[in-house]
């Protein structure tokens, strides 16, 4: 039974986000107070464990300390971008009925895994208590809702279909950084020019980053409707449009530096930051890594939609849950209050590279965000929203894990397009049965 659709109603998000100003008041409701039966420790699982992501989490912890000084934040972050390790550990801990007090989960299909297993609580009451019902776009809340119950609180919205490019490397190859290739073929031709100039055309990291690249190539070749059809049975995973996309994917992977295939996103992005590689496709948490290296947007680097996906916003959102059996329910609620408050959303998202999930920030509050994020907010307001596979918006964990395995085998092995397509089709089968 498919209950949280990957795309349903999401277009309305943009309108609501654009309609900022006014609305519910954010901020600490009561400054904490009641400690739960678990005492003051609040264990929080995320995968924001290193580099620029850790800085985002730290900004949020500072707000938590101010708003809820009675509670003590216990950082249970698990290293591994995209939650690659955290989700495995969580699955084991939840199955063993040993949950943290709250944990990170992606909005959309991924949340249904925890809901179906009855591992997370309905937090609808908190939306009333913290006045969140009108603070978030309805279509985002819809992605957290099953059978009228809301199961998590969102902290941010990220975009995944972004090419990050080093301007100096592009210029060395005779390319104009202000001109974006119109489609995948034009982009691949540009990569060939970078290669001819003696630089690395593109870097790609570990499996989930390969899957993220693949989803953007699917978007480019299938268009938003065709891509969305992959999740409701309208587009065949074993059909000719997907074969065309996989042929493009193969060409790009053939041009990629293979030495990062076991590395996380930050090491794989580093050559683009330092100027030995031209391109990397990554979510917009990458902007925080460029900021950390003091690189300037539209000077040292440019960012643009993966060619062929202009007008599409590859959506994902992080949210936090209240697990069944949390030892410190009041502490977990205090964390959910902080991440949903205006203060929390501004402190976190200005550092993390994401845009706020709240749609009621004033012009003044929005002006605190950097130039890239201003562009991202604009795109979010105008573009067609499509859902990320690699980051759980479109597919349950089991499906994205199986797809991860399929692309990793393809990248490490013989680049067998037919084999990859067959494995993707098999990985997608559980969605067809729902
Ligand atoms: C995503 C998550 C982002 C970012 C990224 C890289 O799954 O939603 O917030 O952390 O992984 O680790």
Among residues 162, 161, 252, which one has the least CA distance to residue 201?
Answer: 252
pLDDT of res. 413: 87
Please state the rounded mean pLDDT for residues 245-268.
97
Q: What is the pLDDT of residues 149-169, one digit of tens each?
A: 999 999 999 999 999 999 999
Q: Is 47 touching ligand 1 by the criterion CB < 6 Å?
A: yes
Please state the rounded mean pLDDT for residues 105-121.
96
Q: What is the pLDDT of residues 391-425, one digit of tens each?
A: 999 999 999 999 999 999 999 987 899 999 999 99
Distance between CA atoms of 222 and 311, rounded to whole angstroms? 14
Residue bearing the CA closest to ligand 1, atom 7:
82
Q: What is the pLDDT of residues 312-366, one digit of tens each?
A: 999 999 999 999 999 999 999 999 999 999 999 999 999 999 999 999 999 999 9
Q: How far is the CA of 137 from the centre of ligand 1 (A)?
A: 21
Distance between CA atoms of 381 and 313, rounded to whole angstroms? 9
Strand partners, 293: none
Looking at residue 29, the DSSP 8-state letter turns out to be S
Whether 19 has a pLDDT exceeding 60, the answer reads: no
Of 34-48, 239-253, 367-381, minimum mean pLDDT range: 34-48
Looking at residue 359, the DSSP 8-state letter turns out to be S
370: its two tokens: 């950097």
pLDDT of res. 39: 83
Q: Is 110 touching ligand 1 by the criterion CB < 6 Å?
A: no
Domains of the chain: 8-158+317-381 (3.40.190.10), 162-308+396-432 (3.40.190.10)
pLDDT of res. 248: 98
Q: How far is the CA of 82 from the centre of ligand 1 (A)?
A: 5
Q: Is 87 touching ligand 1 by the criterion CB < 6 Å?
A: no
11: confidence class by pLDDT, cuts 50, 70, 90 = very low
Task: Find all residues with CB under 8 Å of 176, minimum gap 6, and list them.
Answer: 170
353: its two tokens: 């590279």
Asked whether the beta carbons of 52 and 88 are under 8 A apart, the reply is no
Whether 56 has a pLDDT exceeding 70, the answer reads: yes
pLDDT of res. 107: 97
Q: What is the pLDDT of residues 196-232, one digit of tens each?
A: 999 999 999 999 999 999 999 999 999 999 999 999 9
Residue bearing the CA closest to ligand 1, atom 11:
82
Looking at residue 164, the DSSP 8-state letter turns out to be E
- The region, left, alpha or beta by phi > 0 then psi within -120 to 50, assigned to residue 310 is beta
Classified as helix, coil or strand, 34 is coil
Asked whether the beta carbons of 131 and 153 are under 8 A apart, the reply is no
pTM recorded for the entire structure: 0.92
Q: Which atom of ligand 1 is found nearest the CA of 81? A: 12
pLDDT of res. 414: 78
Residue with tokens 């040292």: 300
pLDDT of res. 434: 64
Q: Is 285 touching ligand 1 by the criterion CB < 6 Å?
A: yes
């Amino acid at each position: 039974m498919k209950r949280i659709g990957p795309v349903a109603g999401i277009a309305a998000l943009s309108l609501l986000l654009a309609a900022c100003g006014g609305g519910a008041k954010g901020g600490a409701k009561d400054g904490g107070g009641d400690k739960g039966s678990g005492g003051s420790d609040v264990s929080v699982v995320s995968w924001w464990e290193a580099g620029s992501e850790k800085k985002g989490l730290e900004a949020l912890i500072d707000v938590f300390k101010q708003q809820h000084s009675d509670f003590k934040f216990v950082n249970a972050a698990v290293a591994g971008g995209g939650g690659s390790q955290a989700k495995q550990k969580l699955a084991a801990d939840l199955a063993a009925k040993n949950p943290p007090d709250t944990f990170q989960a992606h909005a959309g299909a991924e949340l249904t895994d925890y809901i179906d297993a009855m591992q997370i609580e309905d937090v609808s009451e908190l939306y009333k208590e913290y006045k969140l019902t009108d603070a978030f776009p309805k279509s985002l809340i819809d992605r957290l809702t099953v059978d009228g119950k809301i199961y998590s609180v969102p902290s941010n919205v990220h975009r995944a279909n972004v090419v990050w490019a080093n301007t100096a490397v592009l210029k060395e190859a005779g390319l104009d950084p202000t001109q974006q290739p119109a489609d995948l073929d034009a982009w691949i031709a540009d990569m060939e020019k970078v290669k001819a100039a003696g630089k690395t055309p593109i870097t790609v990291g570990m499996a989930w980053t390969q899957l993220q690249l693949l989803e953007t190539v699917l978007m480019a070749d299938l268009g938003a409707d065709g891509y969305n059809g992959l999740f409701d049975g309208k587009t065949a995973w074993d059909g000719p449009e997907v074969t065309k996309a996989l042929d493009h994917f193969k060409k790009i992977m053939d041009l990629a530096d293979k030495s990062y295939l076991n590395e996380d996103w930050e090491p794989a992005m580093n050559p683009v930051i330092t100027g030995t590689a031209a391109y990397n496709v990554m979510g917009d948490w990458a902007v925080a890594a460029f900021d950390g290296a003091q690189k300037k947007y539209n000077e040292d680097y440019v960012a643009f939609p993966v060619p062929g996906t202009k007008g599409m916003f590859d959506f994902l959102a992080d949210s936090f849950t209240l697990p069944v059996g949390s030892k410190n329910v009041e502490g977990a609620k205090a964390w959910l209050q902080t991440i949903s408050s205006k203060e929390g959303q501004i402190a976190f998202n200005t550092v993390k590279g994401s845009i706020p999930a709240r749609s009621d920030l004033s012009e003044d509050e929005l002006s605190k965000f950097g130039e890239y994020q201003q562009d991202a907010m604009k795109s979010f307001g105008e573009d067609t929203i499509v859902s990320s596979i690699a980051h759980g918006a479109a597919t349950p964990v089991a499906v994205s894990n199986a797809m991860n395995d399929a692309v990793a085998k393809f990248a490490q092995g013989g680049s067998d397009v037919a084999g990859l397509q067959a494995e993707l089709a098999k990985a997608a089968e559980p969605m067809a049965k729902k």
